[in-house]
Every structure is written in C-alpha cells, then in structure tokens.
Structure 1
Amino acid sequence: MGRNILESSLKYASFSIIFQVLFRCITFVLNAFIVRTLGHEVLGIMNVRLLLLESTILFLSKEPLLKACLTNTKSHNWAQVINLIWLSIPIAFLLSICLVYIWLNVLSPVDDIFLEQYKWGCYSIALSCIIEQCTQSIVLVVQSFCFVKLKIILDTIYILVRTFIFVCLVMYNPYSAIGAFAIAQIISAIILGISYFVFFAWYIPNLKMHNKKEQTNSQLFDDMKDFPFRSILDFFPGMMKNENNMLNKELCVLTMSFTRQSLVKQILTEGEKYVMTISPVMTFTQQSMYDIVNNLGSLAARFIFRPIEESAYFYFTQMVQRDVPVKNQNKESISESALVLKQLCNVIISFGLVIFVFGQSYSYTLLYLYGGQNLVNNMLPVTLLKFHCFAIILLAINGVTEGFVFATMSNKQLDRYNYVMVLFSVIFLIISYVLTILLGPVGFIIANCINMLSRITHSFHYIRNMYRNSPYKPLDGLRPSWKFISVLLISSYCTKLSEGSFLRTSIFAHIFIGAIFFFLTIVVWSLDNKELLKIGYDKYKRKQLKK
C-alpha cells in the first residue's frame, strides 16, 4: 500500500462523481426514451421489479465480504482473503434460486403480454449477477491497491455497452424491450469480467519487468513493489502459497457482522421498492413515475454524496483501528481523520442546504424541462421532488457519519448495532406501508426521513462517545456559519418571488435569477472555507508538479 491513502480516496471520489454524472445522464435519457417509445409499465417492470432483483442479489452476496476484506488491507494474508471473497459466487447462486422463485411465483404477476419476457428477464438478471461475482477478487485488489482510473474506466465501459446493446435491440424490435434489457445485462457483465482479467494478465508480467529496472519511469507501476500477486492464477482460490488456514477467522467473524448489517441496510436502502413490489400499493405505471422523480431528486446523492461516502469509508478503515481506544492510537492518524471528518461534515451539510433551498423554487422548472408539460400537469411530481430536497440533507449527513461509524466500530459494536438496524428496518417498513396508504408516494419519502433521522441520531451518539475524552469535535463541521445561513435565507425569499412572478411568463428569467443567487451562495461559502479550498488547491498544484 505504497500509495497515499487520502490522495487515492480523494481521487476515487472525484472520478466517481464524474462517472455518476455520466451514468445518471445516460439513465435519464434512457428513461425518457423508454417512456416515450414503450410506455410507463415497461419502465416500471425494468427499473423497479428487475433492478430490485439485481440489487438484492449483488448487495447481499458481495457487500459483506467486500467490506470485511477491505479492512486493514496492509496486513492481509492475501491467500486467505482471495479464498474468502470467492464465497460470493455460491452465495449469489443460492440467493438467485430463492429470489427468482419468489419473483416468478409469489409477487404480483405482470400482464400476460410481458410474462415471457419477464421470466427471461429474471433468469438473465440472476445469471449476470453470478458472472459479476467471478470478478470480485480482482475488484477487491483494484480497490485495495488504489487502481482508481481502471475501476472508473471499466465501470464506464460497462454502462455504455449495456446501454448501447439495449437501445440497438429496442430499435430493432420495440416490443421485446424487457428481453433486450436481459440480453444487455448478460453481455455487459461478461465484457466487464473479461476486461478485468485481461488488464491484470497484462499488468503482472509488466510489473515484474518494471521492478527489475533500476529506474522507474511509469506511474502505473510505481510504489507497487509490494504487490503480492505473481500470476493471474493467484486471483483464483487455493492458488497462492499459504501455510496457514484456508480462511482468516477474524475476517469470517467480521463478514458475519457485515452480513446481518447488509441485510438490514438493503431493506433500508430499497425499502420503498420492496413495499411497492410486495404489496399492491402502486401500479407499475405509478411505480415508474415515482422512480423517475425519485432518481431526479437523488441526483446530488448519487453524483456527490455516494462517491464521498465510499471513499470516506475506505479512508477511515485505513486510518482508524477497530477495537483500539482513541488515546491508544497513532496521534497523527487520529488527528488527520478527525479533521477530515469535520471537513466532510461541513461540505455535505452545505451541499444539502443549497439543494434544499433552491429545490423549493426550482422543482417545477426542473420537471418541466425534463418531462414537458405532461409531467407537471399533476402537481404530485413537483411535491415529491420538494420533499426529496429535504430528504437530501438527511441523506448527506447520514452517509458520511454512518460511513465513519461502520469503518471504526468493533465487531461487538457492529453486532449490537445490527439489532438496532433490525428495529429501524421493521419500523421503516411499517411506517412506509401506512404512510403510503394515507399519503400516497409522498409517504415513502416521509418514512425515509424518519428512518434517516433515527440512524443519524445513533451515529452522532457513537461519534461523540468516541471523541469524548479527546480535543477533537468533528461534528462541529455540521454547523454552518451565520453568513452562509443568511445568504441562503435571502436566496430562498428572492427565488420564491421569482417563481411567482416569472415562471409562467419567462422560465429563462426565473432560471437566470436563480443562477445569480446560486453564484452568490457559492462565493459566500468559498470565503467561509478559504483554508479548506487552499488545502485542496495546494494538493492539486503538488500533483501537477509531479507530472
């Protein structure tokens, strides 16, 4: 692990944001294409029912193993780790058998016109998930040794290939859209797996040649003399030399903790889709409309907060030791990690507040530009998007604080928290079901807000206890300055006036006024955070000088 962990984490977050922007742009264009060409029901079957099957299989089969194996990678016995990560394949296989049976025989049926394509879609999703698990050993190595650009490039190729194949097949035969979706899933999963293996089949021999030279001349191979893999076969179970047990007991225990945690987290993350799927609360058409608004409202979370959360989790797992009190840990690492957490809190609360303030005045505008008049004739989508803007603040706070909690908890604490998460999940599902019956789709968002507030409260309690007898107070980053709050209040008032005055007569004038106040808000925030921006700029300059 010769590469700088913080630098690599920041780089991964930056590239991930770019990737998420590209992915979401493709998704939105694709959704519009599906709705205009094929109708809402097809979009509901694919985006809610089938993608929920894929999400459930992949998350439960790989997330616990991957999180456990990413913990303290510097001291890994890689032979044991590779053996452990390959367990994701039989787990995915068993999950596929159970879940496909449920999706085909237990859940509410689809219309007869889509039935055969739907069956083929379920089988194809399961097969593509199993294929994807075959690359998890390489994905683990890619993340552990900070092959940031490789992962982003291959993920981008995966999305582009899947989209291209789907669109081509639909253009050829619009009535087989679900079948085209299934074929695209399988082919793109195969291409992704082959790409990973081909890269390391090329990289490992070239790394050997590079290490024999006295002078280094390639950033791709620098600082990788401790790379433990000497052949592409080492990525397969039982191939590396190993004098110890086949599996690491500590990692197995940690995996079990993460398994229970992942099961609960999956319910919390995809709870509204499970409620939609299991109960006849909404039709496929209504589900597709909710999904469109939900994705649109989650732009910031997917573009910015999720990459930051993933990178922060990896960073904190390397900098903060589990089961060791703060006072007994490396002072420099603890000090740096506390400062990073404080700065992250400051950044995400600022983003969340900006989105909330401007979202109240520009939800109608955004939906109108995206879907046209038909999408905003009913004010429900506008109401949903406004509620989403509030949920984004909670989502931002929860993502970073809970990521820190999961990265630093001991095994016993993780086990205890799993029971708390079970309680949160049960309450969330009950509240979602009840509020959806009473309030419709808005009930899903309100239930999510209640759930996130509960999790945030727990995370705050854990972080305060962790730093109780130390000089560090990272949660102070969640307190914006009075200048920033003032400019947000002014912006909120003025953009609301603009919406009432110009929206119906000149939408571009309304957008222009919003742009002015948005720029003013960014300027005030930048002046408040000059030191943080200076650190980022200095790191960028040093990186450019190295090149």
Structure 2
Amino acid sequence: MVLQVRSFSFIRRAIIVLFQLVFRVLTFVLNAFVLRFISQDVLGIVNWLLTLLYTTVLFISREAFRRACLSKTSEVKWKETVNILWLSVPICAVFSCLLGFIWTFYLDQPDSAVIPHYPLAVAAFALSALIEMMAEPLYIMAQIMLYVRLKVVIEGVALALRCVLTVALVTFTPHLGLINFAVAQISFTAAYCVMYYVYFIYLLSTSEELPVRSFTDILPSFLDKGVMFNRGLMQLTWSFFKQSFLKQLLTEGERFVMTFFNVLSFGDQGVYDVINNLGSLVARFVFLPLEDASYLFFSQSLKRGKPACEQDESNLALCTSVLEALLKVVTLIGLTFLTFGFSYSYLLLDIYGGTTLSGGNGPLLLRWYCAYVLLLALNGISECFTFATMSQTEVDRYNHKMLIFSVVFLFSSWFFTQFLGSVGFILANCLNMSARITHSLIYTWKYFKQSQSDPLRGAAISPLVLGLFAITFIVTFFSEKLLCCTIGWVYRLLHIAIGAICLLCIILAIYFKENKFINFVETQYRLKYKQH
C-alpha cells in the first residue's frame, strides 16, 4: 500500500477547516434557535446525559481500532486490517446494551410526567452508536487513502441534517419531548453510514486506486491457513483498547462525576454544557481536525517503536518541522483565546443567550475554559506525536500512568467542586491536561535527544509576541471595565474595536518575529500549489 504522505501537512488542513467551519456554524446557529424552545432540564438530559452515553460507547468501541489500524506497519495486509476493524461492531453492540442498561435503570431519571420517553431516548442513542460503527471500515479506508475531504463533507452533511431535523421537530411537535432528539440522532447516524457506503460502492465501480476490488473485500473473511487476524495488530489494538477506557475517563471525567454523583441538577448541567460547548468551539473547529491529520501524518511517516536515529532522515526532518510548526500554531491560538477570552466572555454570553447565560457564574466558567483551551491545544498535538511513535510496550506503560492520571483527576474534580462548584471541573481538567502535556513533552524530548533535531526549542514563542499578548490582556481588561457591558451598544462596539486593534497588532508581530514558522508555512503552501 503506497501512501503519499509528504504533501499531507497542516497547511492542507486549513481548507478542510473552512469546510468544517461552514457546517459547524450552521449547527451552532440552529442549536441557538433550539435553546429558545426547550427547557434547561431537557437541554441537560440530551446534551449531557444521552450524549455521554453515545460518545462513551463510540470512543470505547472504535478508538483503539483507529489508533492501531492507522499505524504504519508494513507486515499488515489490508484484509487483516478489515478483519480487525469488524471486531469493533460486536464490541459496540455489547457496550451499547451494557451502558444503555445502566443509563436506564441505575442513573437518576427525569420525572416521566414532566419529561417522558427517557428509556426510549436511551435506546435510540445507544442504537445510533451501533449504526455509526457499521461504517468504521470505510472510514479507516478513507483515512488511509487520504480522503480527508470526504470525512468533512459526510460529517458536515449529517450534522446539518440532524440540526435541521431537530429544529423542525421541536418547533412543530414540542409535545414529543425527547423523542424529537431521538429521531434526529438516529437520522444523523443513518445518514452518516449510508453516505459512506454509497460513496465507496460508487468508487469501486469507477476507480482502481482502492486496496479492494469488490464490496466483499470490505467484509471479514478467513486468511491463509484459516487465520483471521494478525497477531501483532491484535496485540497493538488490545493495548490501545485498555488505554481507551482511561482516556475516556479523563476526557469526559467531569461528565461522569456529574452523572454518577449528582453534583449538579439536570438544569445546571444544561447551562454548564452550553458554556462547555461555547468554550470548546476552537477545539472542535481547529484542534481536532489538526490532531486527526497530525496523527495520520506522523503514524505514516515514522516507524512505530523505532528511535529517531533509526528513522529515515528525510522523513524525520519533515516530521520535526511539522511538529514544531504545529506546536507553535496551536500555542498561538491558545494564547489568543486566553488573552481575549477573559475580557470578552461576558459580552459573548450576553449576546448568545442573554441573562440566562451571562448572569450567575457563566462568564467565570467561560474565562476559565479559555485557559483550558491553551492546555487542550498543547496536549492534543503532543499526544498525537507520542501515540504515533510509541512502541506497544511504551503504550502499555503509558496505560499505567493514565490510571494514575484518572485517579488524580477524579479526586481533584470532587475536591474542587466542593469549594468552587462547576468551576472546579474546569480546574480539574486543567490539572489533568498539565500532567498529560508534561508526560508527552518529556517523551518527545527523549525521542529527539539522540538526533540533531529539537522541535520543542523551535516551538518556543518569541518574547516580543508574548509581551504583546500580556499588554493586550491588560488593555482589554480595562476596556471591559470601562466600556462593557451595561451602558449601551456604542460602548460595546468600542470595546470590540479595541480588541480587534490589539489582535491585528499581535498578528503583525507574529508575521515579522516568527520568521522560521512563517517561512515553513509559505514553503508548504507553495509546494501544495505546485502539485495542483
């Protein structure tokens, strides 16, 4: 299987982000419309409780298979990969039933007289995860063949369909309550699955570049000597599978704490979820696409488990430059959100949700989340490189460390919430991310120690740019105190204008002071332009 990964850089991802932005903005606007038609309790149940069920089933069922099957292993054939991937479907079915049972009979349920059909909604969200898993082999094939735009379009169309359908249902049949969201969720995953199959059936009849020649080659089958699975790939998948439990616990820890320990009511969970979604927009729009592309790039360019001195020199040099650029760009984005988020959180929440969100501790939550965004940015890229180059033994060792991180995270979540309420969840996440970043950076430093490369040093931000971020923070802080947000829209617009001027100054400083980074971006853009 020949893969052309050299041209696959984060610059190319910018185009993909643009497509995602269009679909996500539509989703964002439609969700804001839905908020006007449902109660806070329904919001909390759907966006918190039911979504947690859906994401947990999916993450546990497919994360390990994605990590293992996208790794560069020359001894693994496509048929072996297909057989491994189809194991994710029965695993998903088991966890859908198991977690669906727990959600239905062991967790607190809403009053059926006020919010009916909760068990039916649980069954629908669990079933939707199983439907989505049916397309997993095709998703992996698309990733291996670098059909990144396909993923963006299919997910974008499916999300838009879900949002439009949700708006229509809650507008015209509000009395159905949770059934509206169940129907929209099933429609979303069904459309997602059908689009993948339709596209690949069409591609099989018109293209010869795929690693399969017929639809039956996508289905599981016996290999030579009656064997179905590659032992090495199975062992790597099992290592990632054990890790996926801990990673999900760390990623969704605050949701589990709220869900199983009843820290917040359904209504409070709904408000927290809105703040969480607003705060994580940049993670979904920018960081997650970059992380997906980065992991694929590093895993296909470097041999897993081999030190830097044993890698191909040209591949290592390219990966060093890409890692350095990625760390720098996500750090700059994170610093931007930290700097401006503190002074513009209240204004954003007041515009988006009125006093329902801007009143109380909503702005404080969003300010802390902006600090968390910076840590999310660094953790995502650093872990992508770490997981793409770790050997199976190193992955197993890291699983033990993840167990320690999980225990510390759960304890800190419980401890901080006792004194700080919902802000404690964000602080616990910050502590968790800091520990994971530290581990990844130490691993990266050791990985490159025996080579001539040092991407961590190259990713450092210019002191002038850092100083400008600090000055901007102070300027916008006083701008908010003097101009925002109770003395009219003219002053609000002036506050926004001051922020825009500061942002422009930061962009100019980056352009003139981060020369190596800018030159790398321009070079990659020119290479991509020549290829087209």
Q: TM-score range by the shorter chain?
A: over 0.9
Check conservation: 1:12, 1:307, Cα contact below 8 A: no
The reply to whether residue 486 of structure 1 matches residue 467 of structure 2 is: yes
215, 224, 229: which one pairs with 1:232?
Answer: 215
Who is 1:266 aligned against? 248
Mapped partners of 1:86, 1:199: distance in 2: 19
Who is 1:206 aligned against? 206
Mapped partners of 1:42, 1:395: distance in 2: 29
Mapped partners of 1:12, 1:159: distance in 2: 23
Output the amino acid matched with 1:529: E
Who is 1:382 aligned against? 363
What's the CA shift string for 1:378-425, capped at 9, x where partnerless?
A: 2x1111111111111111111111111111111011001101101111
Q: Call closer, same or farther: CA 1:388–1:87 in 2, change over 3 Å.
A: same
Who is 1:411 aligned against? 392
> 1:148-187 maps to which residues of 2 (within 5 A)?
148-187=148-187
Q: Call closer, same or farther: CA 1:415–1:545 in 2, change over 3 Å.
A: closer
Output the amino acid matched with 2:508: V
Who is 1:323 aligned against? 305
Q: CA deviation at 1:492?
A: 1.6
Who is 1:37 aligned against? 37
Who is 1:211 aligned against? none
User: How high is the TM-score relative to the length of structure 1?
Assistant: 0.92
Question: Mean Cα displacement is larger for which, 27-36 or 435-444?
Answer: 27-36
User: How high is the TM-score relative to the length of structure 2?
Assistant: 0.95
Name the Cα RMSD after superposition.
Answer: 1.9
Output the amino acid matched with 1:245: V
Output the amino acid matched with 1:49: L
Q: Call closer, same or farther: CA 1:73–1:206 in 2, change over 3 Å.
A: farther
The reply to whether residue 435 of structure 1 matches residue 416 of structure 2 is: yes
Check conservation: 2:103, 2:122, Cα contact below 8 A: yes
Mapped partners of 1:336, 1:431: distance in 2: 39
- State the SS of the aligned residue for 2:303: coil
What's the CA shift string for 1:294-313, capped at 9, x where partnerless?
A: 11111222211111111111
What's the CA shift string for 1:225-253, capped at 9, x where partnerless?
A: xx3210122111118x7567310101100
Q: CA deviation at 1:42?
A: 0.6
Q: Call closer, same or farther: CA 1:75–1:9 in 2, change over 3 Å.
A: farther
Q: CA deviation at 1:205?
A: 1.9
Percent of pairs identical after alignment? Answer: 37
Output the amino acid matched with 1:306: L
The reply to whether residue 469 of structure 1 matches residue 442 of structure 2 is: no
What's the CA shift string for 1:280-335, capped at 9, x where partnerless?
A: 11001100111111111112222111111111111111122122222122111112
260, 272, 275: which one pairs with 1:293?
Answer: 275
Who is 2:129 aligned against? 129
Question: Mean Cα displacement is larger for which, 72-81 or 476-485?
Answer: 72-81
Q: Call closer, same or farther: CA 1:311–1:410 in 2, change over 3 Å.
A: same
What's the CA shift string for 1:90-125, capped at 9, x where partnerless?
A: 101110111011001111121123554211111111
What's the CA shift string for 1:419-448, capped at 9, x where partnerless?
A: 110111111111111211221000000000
What's the CA shift string for 1:320-355, capped at 9, x where partnerless?
A: 212222212211111211221111111111111111
Q: Call closer, same or farther: CA 1:546–1:413 in 2, change over 3 Å.
A: closer
Check conservation: 2:304, 2:390, Cα contact below 8 A: yes
Q: CA deviation at 1:76?
A: 3.2
Who is 1:59 aligned against? 59
What's the CA shift string for 1:186-225, capped at 9, x where partnerless?
A: 12222222221111211122114xxxxxxxxxxxxxxx3x
Q: CA deviation at 1:13?
A: 3.0
Q: Call closer, same or farther: CA 1:74–1:162 in 2, change over 3 Å.
A: farther
Q: CA deviation at 1:55?
A: 0.2
- State the SS of the aligned residue for 1:37: coil
Output the amino acid matched with 1:289: V
Mapped partners of 1:534, 1:543: distance in 2: 14
Who is 1:529 aligned against? 514
Output the amino acid matched with 1:263: F
283, 293, 313: which one pairs with 1:311?
Answer: 293
- State the SS of the aligned residue for 1:113: coil
Check conservation: 2:34, 2:167, Cα contact below 8 A: no
Mapped partners of 1:244, 1:476: distance in 2: 51
Who is 1:110 aligned against? 110
Output the amino acid matched with 2:445: R
> 1:355-374 maps to which residues of 2 (within 5 A)?
355-374=337-356
Mapped partners of 2:275, 2:317: distance in 1: 41
Mapped partners of 1:541, 1:470: distance in 2: 28
Who is 1:219 aligned against? none
The reply to whether residue 498 of structure 1 matches residue 479 of structure 2 is: yes
Q: CA deviation at 1:460?
A: 1.7
What's the CA shift string for 1:145-190, capped at 9, x where partnerless?
A: 0112222111111111112222222222112231011111212222
Question: Mean Cα displacement is larger for which, 107-116 or 519-528?
Answer: 107-116
Q: Call closer, same or farther: CA 1:96–1:15 in 2, change over 3 Å.
A: farther
Who is 1:391 aligned against? 372
What's the CA shift string for 1:432-490, capped at 9, x where partnerless?
A: 11211221000000000111111111112211111222221111144211110121122
Who is 1:93 aligned against? 93
Q: CA deviation at 1:69?
A: 0.7
Q: What number of residue pairs does the alignment pair up?
A: 528
Output the amino acid matched with 2:28: F
Mapped partners of 2:274, 2:254: distance in 1: 14
324, 328, 331: which one pairs with 1:346?
Answer: 328
Question: Mean Cα displacement is larger for which, 510-519 or 188-197?
Answer: 188-197
213, 227, 231: which one pairs with 1:249?
Answer: 231
Q: CA deviation at 1:536?
A: 3.0
Who is 1:217 aligned against? none
Who is 2:433 aligned against? 452
Check conservation: 1:197, 1:232, Cα contact below 8 A: no
Mapped partners of 1:162, 1:34: distance in 2: 12
Check conservation: 1:358, 1:495, Cα contact below 8 A: yes
- State the SS of the aligned residue for 2:166: helix
Mapped partners of 1:332, 1:82: distance in 2: 31
Q: Call closer, same or farther: CA 1:477–1:383 in 2, change over 3 Å.
A: farther
